[in-house]
Structure 1
Amino acid sequence: MNEQVARNVVLVRAIESADANHEVLSDDDRKYASRSAKELAAWQAADSKTAVTQHHFLQQRSEQIIKRLGERSPAFAAFAKRRLGLGAVWLALPFLAFVSGAVIDRIADPHRVDLLSAPFLLIIGWNLLVYLGMLVWALVPGKRHGWAGPNLLRRLSVGKAVVPRKLPAPMAKGLTAFMAEWAALSEPLTRARLSRTIHLAAACFALGAIASLYARGLLNQYVVGWESTFLDGRQVHTLLSWLFMPAMNAFPFLQGFSLAEIEQLRYGRTVTAASGARWVHLYGATLLLLVVLPRLVLAGLATLRARRLARRFPLDLDQPYYRKLADSIGAGTPALLRVLPYSYTLDEARDRGLWAIAASALGTQARVQLRPTAPYGIEPKEVLHDTALDEPGVTVTAVLFSLAATPEKENHGAFLDYLGKRVRRGVAVLVDESPLVERIGEQQGNAARVAERTALWRQFCSFHGTSATFVNLLQPDKYPIELGAGLTLPELR
């Protein structure tokens, strides 16, 4: 799945998830899009002589829904067609760097080649420092992020993130959620593109300085020399010998220099044009070897990485929303909902309700893996010591609580926190209201008690970095299941 297809798929998911009451996309719209996508995916697979895949289906379905929404809302159609992010930056930055490099050494005397030129020495020194920093950063364990902050990456990914006006509330909410999610999903691709651009800009900056040096030499005769308050001729000779060593080794035709020549050039004494050209060639070749070529190589590697990510965008299709759609066409493996009850034992009726909820949320072929109940007050590490929390085949890991229980930070919260730190895809929270409703009844006067306990669980789960999904395992169809855009199952009310 390439970047554009992934963008459309994520956009449709965000809108469908935000449109919980089906105000923007009716049931008929969604069913029609799925039927049409299934047929188009079958034709596409037949043309390529392959089996129908989840990628084909999602691509066709997202295109169908975006087309329909675009026909109803011109503002949405314009949003769907526009390119996100700040695309002009990728071209403008290298161009501005070239221009800056071309004018940087004009601060000094344009008729002079300073052997201790601060601009040229800073260009070389800075790039060598960057290479060293990249090497150290690559060797630091656990460090996988670059220098760019999340705000910069978000701006480069989605631009100003302004939602068009005159959109229905669910659609506006969906677009807002989409831009936040897309900024997170496209972060690796944006980092690769930013790395490519920065390396190209650094190479162009050095190329601008080289071009300026040679261009001025065509019309002016350079005066070559050096001056320093603290360095003598021997020290300058040593410095320049080390500086120009790579260029002299790579290009044998470049002439070396002696200590006597360096001494003679002190205080800006003039030399012949041929001698001036020698120093221009030495500086140009050094910039080429130490700055331009390494930066171009690094830019090339970043470009390959960006192209690979753009062609195969890293979208996790094992998430509940995608698994449910894949199940509708018989693609992929059945989803698996792993449930970890806490201080709550399910009877046969509630076990059947759990399977019904899994089928509604994850597809009719979804399976349930019900783990043993975690006793109240026991340390999570002791209870879960034999549970592989990052088991590859698990689609969603959910903790099951009873609404009849009062949430406690040191027990329920500790259990949630332990799982949250160890389950890579995040933990869903299911709160079953049936024990409380069964105990107090469904009279109108008791509804306030249920609502009060529900609000308490919502606040509690929010404090622990997740959201509560309320279900009734004795009446699994009581609440409609709508899959959200996050890693957890959605809230049902």
Structure 2
Amino acid sequence: MRSSSARDILLAHAIETAAPNEALPDAAHCATITHDTLHAIGSPNTKGGSASHAQFLNFMEQRAQRIIAASQLPEDVRQVWKQVPGIARWVPLAVLVGALVFGFCLHRFTDPHRVDLLAPSLLGIVLWNLLVYLWMLVSWVRSLLRSGRTAPVVLRPANASSAPVDAVGGWRGKLRARMPVAGGGGLRRMALAFERNWWLLSARARHAQWLLWLHLGAAMMAVGALASLWATGLTNEYQVGWESTFLSASMVQQLLNGIFAPVQWLLGAAPWSLADIESLRGWVSNSVTAPAVAERMAHLSRGQQWVIAYTALLGLLVIAPRLLCALWQGLRLAWLNRHVQLPFTQPYFQNLQRDFGGLAVTLHVLPYSFEITPERRKTLDAWIATQYGAGAHLVIEPALAYGAKLPSAASVAGKGADAAAVLLINMAATPEAEIHGELLQTARERWGQNAAIWLWTPDFAERNTGAPKRVQERRELWGEFVRNAGLVAVWVP
């Protein structure tokens, strides 16, 4: 799904979950819009497959556009919807120009009239980029090891408490600057929830965008240093050589041959000998003849040879790899903007799926270490009706004893395409890594990272009616425990 379509759907989600407001369509109006949209797109293909999924996406997109059109949103809120948050237009230009100027000045001020074999301005750029490549490799390996453990995005309703929203500072501060107070309290909260949800949903694309410009900036820094190297050589005669208090000629030989190995391989040249390095100890004139790096450079002076050698070195180890990384991130950014993944397992989208397909979802609830009494069943039925719609069918599986393993029969497989497995845990229990941790890990391995984990709250809340802080602490404890397992907790009711 394209990012523009996903933003429309997220805004519709914020409108439907916002507190009642005369500028927003009510639940009855939204139900009418759903009916009209289904009538407009015709009979859906309920047999599954990519065609059915594409139809469902089209249904959600058209429905979201109709809900937005039926809303009387102020202009400042509409601007929040239309203007996608991201890097300011001047930032990429500032990054490129700043990196170019920094690289130019770095070499200009450190080695103004010399080609230093151990030039800190040039070797520093190379070594820094090699460290970055190593860090990228380590990060890539870590991402492979942690594949599938990232907690899914949780869309926050617009009428939810503002405390968790306040915890996200960056996007909220930007939004406050973009939207004045004139938008009104309820509509402002709706816009905040919409932007917060989009900020979380577009995190991967935003990360790729930053990496794109950082790679281009690193390449421009190397270009700036080379520009200074060549520009200075037009009006000055370089002195070539090296000097060091602590490094011997043999150590310099090994260092330079190690760093310049890609250039020597490209030019088909043999490594520098100890005699070559010894002849350049101190500073010699540019015009003095020296052993060539390769036969094709035999007619060049010392300074020209080393200028070309450093140009090839930065081109091979910095400019070319950084441009390739920038190209990869640009392609990745374009792909992510065209394939935004919405959390379809959440109740809002499950309800739309039920309306679209004409089939009610069947929820197989597996209680853990507590029984579902008729009173609890009544509470569950009422809560599920508000979350999944009146057509949702609830099946209570036999309760698991404390410490028991998750049975294979509880898997969604074999229960029908419209079935969803749910693990119901009583919040009154204290989470234990050996018991509950293993249970959640099994649920995640069996049902995936979108496994439904419900936490039953009434029992603990009723026993602590006079201690709301204790209830909140228990909620935070369980929420963090489930998040650490790579899952999302849903509080019932």
TM-score bin (small chain): 0.7 to 0.9
AA aligned to 1:308 is W
2:357 matched to 1:330? yes
Give how far 1:117 is off: 0.2
Deviations 1:223-273 (A, max 9, x none): 222111122333323322222221122134x79755444333322221218
Contact 2:365 2:394 in 1 (8 A): yes
AA aligned to 1:282 is A
The range that moved more, 175-184 or 109-118, is: 175-184
Deviations 1:69-113 (A, max 9, x none): 3x4412211211222132434453233222222221112242221
**How has the CA–CA distance of structure 1 residues 136 and 60 changed in structure 2, closer, same or farther, with 3 Å as cutoff?**
same
SS of 1:210's partner is helix
Which residue number corresponds to residue 15 of structure 2? 15
Aligned counterparts, 1:29-428, within 5 A: 29-39=29-39, 41-42=41-42, 53-69=55-71, 71-88=72-89, 89-140=91-142, 142-143=145-146, 160-162=174-176, 164-252=180-268, 258-272=273-287, 274-330=301-357, 334-341=360-367, 343-347=370-374, 354=380, 358-374=384-400, 378-379=401-402, 381-382=403-404, 384-386=406-408, 388=410, 395=420, 397=422, 399=424, 408-410=428-430, 422=443, 424-425=449-450, 427-428=453-454
Long gaps (5+) in structure 1: 147-153, 402-406, 434-448, 468-485
Deviations 1:266-285 (A, max 9, x none): 22221218321111000000
Give how far 1:362 is off: 1.5
SS of 2:394's partner is strand
Contact 1:84 1:159 in 2 (8 A): no
**How has the CA–CA distance of structure 1 residues 143 and 206 changed in structure 2, closer, same or farther, with 3 Å as cutoff?**
farther
Contact 1:335 1:363 in 2 (8 A): no
Query: What TM-score do you get using the length of structure 1 for normalisation?
Result: 0.74
Give how far 1:157 is off: 6.7
**How has the CA–CA distance of structure 1 residues 431 and 117 changed in structure 2, closer, same or farther, with 3 Å as cutoff?**
closer
**How has the CA–CA distance of structure 1 residues 111 and 37 changed in structure 2, closer, same or farther, with 3 Å as cutoff?**
farther
Which residue number corresponds to residue 470 of structure 1? none
Q: Distance in 2 between matches of 1:351 and 1:399?
A: 12
Q: Distance in 2 between matches of 1:234 and 1:268?
A: 18
Q: Distance in 2 between matches of 1:157 and 1:23?
A: 25
Q: Distance in 1 between matches of 2:421 and 2:21?
A: 24
Which residue number corresponds to residue 462 of structure 1? 475
Give how far 1:487 is off: 5.6
AA aligned to 1:15 is I
The range that moved more, 280-289 or 312-321, is: 312-321
Contact 1:98 1:206 in 2 (8 A): yes
AA aligned to 1:34 is T
Give how far 1:158 is off: 7.1
**How has the CA–CA distance of structure 1 residues 278 and 410 changed in structure 2, closer, same or farther, with 3 Å as cutoff?**
closer
Task: Tell me how large the CA RMSD over aligned residues is.
Answer: 4.2
Deviations 1:127-181 (A, max 9, x none): 12222233333334634699xxxxxxx7887772325412343322222223333
Give how far 1:463 is off: 4.0
Contact 2:405 2:439 in 1 (8 A): no
Q: Distance in 2 between matches of 1:260 and 1:455?
A: 80
Which residue number corresponds to residue 482 of structure 1? none
AA aligned to 2:80 is F
Contact 2:385 2:391 in 1 (8 A): yes
Q: Distance in 1 between matches of 2:217 and 2:488?
A: 38
The range that moved more, 302-311 or 335-344, is: 335-344
User: Alignment length, in residue pairs?
Assistant: 437
Long gaps (5+) in structure 2: 46-50, 151-167, 288-299, 481-486
Q: Distance in 2 between matches of 1:365 and 1:19?
A: 24
- Kindly, what percent of the aligned residue pairs are identical? 29
Q: Distance in 1 between matches of 2:67 and 2:76?
A: 15
Contact 2:101 2:224 in 1 (8 A): yes
Q: Distance in 2 between matches of 1:251 and 1:77?
A: 59
Give how far 1:313 is off: 0.8
Contact 1:156 1:190 in 2 (8 A): no
Give how far 1:346 is off: 4.0
Which residue number corresponds to residue 155 of structure 2? none
Deviations 1:11-61 (A, max 9, x none): 32133223268873323442343245435545999xxxx667121121122
Q: Distance in 2 between matches of 1:213 and 1:346?
A: 81
Contact 1:396 1:488 in 2 (8 A): no
SS of 2:335's partner is helix
SS of 1:83's partner is coil
SS of 2:284's partner is coil
SS of 1:268's partner is strand
Q: Distance in 1 between matches of 2:458 and 2:112?
A: 79
Give how far 1:119 is off: 1.3
